[in-house]
Amino acid sequence: MFIEPRLEAVFSSNSYGYRPKKNAHHALSKVRENCWKQDWVIDLDIKGFFDNIEPQQTDACCRARCT
């Protein structure tokens, strides 16, 4: 568990995917809570997003965060 604690420190508190002790039910609860605070929503489709990132960029990011 070398990388996880380092990345957890920089993740957004609103990020729920593949996070320890967070799941889709937590995310839905947060969405419901936020819907009462704002009168607008941003919907994004990230299908294929990671297909367009160069592996060198991912490596550089991981090195910067984990060394």
Segment 19-61, tens digit of pLDDT? 888 999 999 999 888 888 888 878 888 888 888 888 899 899 8
Average pLDDT over residues 8-28: 89
Query: Which has the closest alpha carbon to 29: 16, 45, 44?
Result: 16
Confidence class for position 1, pLDDT limits 50, 70, 90 = low
Residue 6 confidence (pLDDT) above 80: yes
For 16, residues 6+ apart whose C-beta sits below 8 A from its C-beta are 22, 23, 24, 26, 27, 30
